[in-house]
């Protein structure tokens, strides 16, 4: 049986897809507990019964948002890996930072929801917790830091988390950080990439230089 999420992803112009797109943004802005289905329905321009008809309750919709984001992240990782395969580590890092940062700035709800999952005091059951280690292992393998995704040393996992968390924080915190540096959005994105490369590339490539 086709799930509502599968139907929404298959037909981006459908009502299911419209609701899903708004739900991603609002859950990303307010988190699970700060969001109501009424808020989502009002933003879409429908009554709440229509939302429940297409997606069920809030928990059902939230779980679909999480799965949808996971699918998009998986696809982006595959795209990045195709581009960086076989390149020196420093180049792999630079390209990965550029591509990942561009994607997450286009879809900031991804970073927001991940940080909500990390730091929220009240946690909603979902599959973000199980999928984050899997993505971390995939990133470590694609960067050449681990031979396979099943045998990633804890030190490597921590290094990958350091990179990803710094990216997520710059993106999720844009409205706080950008006024501090007094630049427009285009310049802010460029500065984020420059800063991430300044911090992480030397740290990851220092052993290659020896």
Q: What is the pLDDT of residues 79-134, one digit of tens each?
A: 998 898 889 989 999 999 999 999 999 999 999 988 887 666 545 555 555 455 56
Q: Distance between CA 200 and CA 94 in Å, rounded?
A: 9
CA distance 148 to 138: 8
Among the residues of 87-143, which ranges form H helices? Answer: 89-106, 108-119, 128-142
The domain locations on the chain are 4-205
Radius of gyration of the chain (CA): 19
CB 70 within 8 A of CB 131: yes
What's the pTM value of the predicted model, to 2 decimals?
A: 0.84
CATH class of the structural domain 4-205 = mainly alpha
Lowest-confidence segment of 20-29, 122-131, 172-181 by average pLDDT:
122-131
């Amino acid at each position: 049986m086709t799930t509502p999420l599968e139907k929404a992803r298959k037909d981006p112009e459908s009502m299911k897809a419209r609701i899903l797109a708004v739900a991603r943004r609002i859950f990303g802005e307010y988190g699970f507990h700060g969001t109501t289905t009424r808020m989502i329905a009002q933003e879409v321009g429908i009554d709440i019964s229509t939302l429940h008809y297409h997606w069920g309750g809030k928990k059902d919709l939230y779980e679909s948002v999480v799965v949808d984001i996971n699918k998009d992240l998986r696809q982006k990782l595959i795209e990045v890996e195709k581009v960086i395969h076989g390149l020196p580590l420093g180049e792999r890092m630079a390209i990965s930072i550029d591509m990942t940062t561009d994607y997450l700035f286009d879809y900031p709800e991804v970073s927001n929801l991940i940080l909500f999952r990390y730091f929220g005091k009240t946690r909603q059951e979902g599959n973000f917790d199980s999928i984050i280690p899997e993505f971390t292992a995939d990133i470590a393998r694609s960067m050449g830091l681990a031979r396979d995704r099943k045998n990633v040393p804890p030190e490597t996992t921590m290094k990958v988390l350091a990179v990803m968390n710094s990216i997520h924080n710059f993106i999720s915190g844009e409205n706080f950080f950008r006024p501090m540096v007094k630049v427009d959005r285009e310049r802010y994105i460029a500065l984020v990439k420059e800063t991430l490369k300044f911090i992480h590339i030397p740290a990851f490539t220092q052993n290659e230089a020896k």
